[in-house]
Amino acid sequence: MKTWNLSKSLLRVLKMRKRLVKKYSYVSSAMDLVDQSLAQQTGCVLDRLLKYNTDFMEYIDVDTNVDVKDLDRFHVFLSARGPQIQTCFGETNQNQPTTDTDEHRQPLQSLLMKKAPQILTEYETTGILLVPSRKLLVKTCIGDLVERCGFYPLSADKLAVAKSIITTFPSLSVRVEGQGEGFEHYYDPVSHCGFLETKLRNLRRNLEQGQRRYRKRKVTNDCTGPEKPDATEDASSTNEWVTLMKRLRPSAENLSSIKSGMEKTYTCRRSWITKNSPTVAEIFNEYPRFLDMPSLLDSEFGTLTGGKMDLFLRRWEANIIPKLKSVAALEPRVSPLLKDIEEKTEDETCYTFLVLLTHLLPPIGASHCSLKSAITHLVDFTPPGTSIASLSNDPATPSTTQQPQLICIGDLKSMTKQYVIVAKNDKVTIPLDDGLTCSVDKLFKLYWVCNLSYPAPLSSVFTFFEYVYDLPFSGQRKTKVLELISQLKAHK
């Protein structure tokens, strides 16, 4: 048999989830696979075509134009011609004109009425779902899904459940920067993440080896830094500006020259930082004006993000804190943090809501950090009178994190307190003359300007800050963040 220009592919043909054919086929395209399958099953039409993806270690939806290579594996799903439509929860409708909303909503409502009616009651009363109810909702949906489709349901099945949740509970929908359709924090078919997928993976951990379909794989975080610009400045000109800025000291007469030098060296600086990943000490040794002119962090961040340098200051106190307060008031586990909140100073209020965020977005995974100490990776305290130099040089002053953090010298109520950004491993300190909100703003901008990874215990908190700045999410652990955003958006 001649097989020139043909690829040998493993083909499984399924109808109503029952396997009909399993064989190797020599084909020149995915469409050939479909034609072969339809030729053997009269009265059927193509439902879905799936191809095994080695990155995700599972079958994913593809179209008939996908490339075919030797030893590729495909699933061809066929369905019988006819008027019957099977909904995502296994109920069949015959010739009934239903809207897409009704198709997704009614089966889920029926399921919850039988197994968890308190979820519907809570939503009707409050308009949102608290975390315990959300967990029960996910558990109920996954239990039903596993019962119907097993521990390895298809991506389309999980997607249908996610859509039905958002259709039934509209306030749970989350679209950041207008991206997505609002259900991705329950199941994202692109990244294969979300509450539903997490619950399934937790269930699979208890399966016996013989029940497992896929081998374990190492999960890596391929999150990239900011886009790398082209280095177009003349090297000699850039070096001259860098040398000049090192010599110039902050003053009214030098301010315009320093700003001009930072602008002219911006592209070269960003290229160097993103390509070579220098340490904080190396960056500030090359551009020392960041140390004595922290306002340069604002302008650098603004250029880096397209002018979003003021969003945190504009939104945090006026918009975010009031909504966080409303959400926390409904959560018994965090509502005690709001005690006497009206009597606190501006910095005390800011600190309270930073602590509250660490409770709503607690450390997860391998961060090995207690909830109580998580906040110290963002803000920690040292006694009044502590010298700034000792914060980075004194071995007796331990740091709670390897990443830069804020240190408050003194007490939050004190009029003489001072905030300092400290990168102890790099022996770098940046004294600030602002309150806590502005200091948190400066610290976040430092992470972006220096292209640093967020502290692991607070990765979700920093991802939430990205939402406040209206930035695209740079991390993968965003499911809890999206849930919190949906709760905030429910409070107008």
The pLDDT tens digits of the residues spanning 113-169 come to 989 999 999 998 888 888 889 999 999 999 999 888 888 888 888 999 999 999 999
Dist CA 114 CA 107 (whole Å): 11
Helix (H) or strand (E) holding 133: helix 131-149
Q: 204-242 in b/e burial notation, b at 16+ Cβ within 10 A?
A: eeeeeeeeeeeeeeeeeeeeebeeeeeeebeeeebeebb
Is 324 within 8 Å of 477 (Cβ atoms)?
no
Q: Answer for the pair 313, 441: CB distance below 8 angstroms, yes or no.
A: yes
pLDDT of residue 325: 94
How far apart are alpha carbons 377 and 457 in whole angstroms? 8
Q: How far apart are CA 362 and CA 171, in angstroms?
A: 23
- Contacts (Cβ under 8 Å, ≥6 apart) of 58: 52, 152, 155, 192, 214
**Is 458 exposed, middle or buried, given 0-12, 13-18 or 19+ CB atoms closer than 10 A?**
buried
Report helix angle 266-276 to 255-264, nearest 10. Answer: 50
Q: What percent of the chain has pLDDT over 90?
A: 39
Cα 337 from Cα 353, distance rounded (Å): 8
Residue 145 identity: L
pLDDT of residue 243: 87
Residue located via tokens 């179209």? 63
Tokens of residue 204, six digits: 């699979």
pTM to 2 decimal places:
0.64
Contacts of 312 (CB under 8 A, 6+ apart): 437, 440, 441, 444, 465, 468, 469
List, for residues 359-385, the tens digit of each pLDDT value. 999 887 655 678 888 999 999 999 999
In this structure, what DSSP letter does residue 23 have? E
Rounded Cα gap, residues 189 and 196, in angstroms: 11
Q: Are 447 and 466 in contact (CB under 8 A)?
A: no
Q: What is the biggest distance separating any 2 CA atoms in the chain, rounded to whole angstroms? A: 88
Collapsed DSSP state (helix, strand, coil) of residue 24: strand
Interhelix angle 100-115/131-149, nearest 10 degrees:
100
Report yes or no: 250 and 289 within 8 Å, Cβ to Cβ: yes
The two counts, helices (H) then strands (E), for the chain are 20, 11
Q: How many residues does the chain have?
A: 492
Burial class (CB in 10 A: 0-12, 13-18, 19+), 125: exposed
SS3 of 275, please? helix
State the Cα–Cα distance between residues 143 and 66, nearest whole angstrom: 34
Beta-strand runs (E) in 43-202: 44-53, 58-62, 73-80, 84-86, 92-94
Q: Which domains does the chain possess?
A: 7-84 (3.10.20.90), 99-208 (no CATH), 329-475 (no CATH)
**Strand (E) or helix (H) holding 359:** helix 346-360
Work out whether the CA dihedral 388, 389, 393, 396 comes out positive or negative: negative
The tens digit of pLDDT for each residue in 30-68 reads 888 788 888 777 777 777 788 887 765 667 777 777 788
The C-alpha atoms of residue 97 and residue 371 are separated, in whole angstroms, by 51
- Please tell me the predicted confidence (pLDDT) of residue 88: 44
SS3 call for 315: helix
Q: What is the pLDDT of residue 104?
A: 46
Of the candidates 120, 208, 107, the one whose C-alpha atom is nearest the C-alpha of residue 157 is 107
Q: What pLDDT, on the 0 to 100 scale, is given for residue 33?
A: 79
Question: Rounded to an integer, what distance in angstroms lies between the CA atom of residue 57 and that of residue 36?
Answer: 26
> What are the φ/ψ torsions at residue 340 (nearest 5 degrees)?
55, 30
User: What is the per-residue pLDDT for 430?
Assistant: 95
**Cα(386)–Cα(199) distance, rounded to whole angstroms?**
48
The token duo for 375 is 């906040």
Point out the residues of the chain with pLDDT beneath 70.
Answer: 1-23, 55-58, 80-106, 177-178, 208-235, 365-368, 394-400, 475-477, 492
Query: Quick one: pLDDT at residue 398?
Result: 56
CA–CA dist 428, 393 (Å, integer): 9
Terminal Cα-to-Cα distance of the chain (whole angstroms): 69
Degrees (nearest 5) of the Cα angle 461, 463, 469?
110
Tokens of 477: 């652990």
Give the span between the Cα atoms of 194 and 203, in whole angstroms: 14
Rg (alpha carbons) of the chain, rounded to whole number: 28
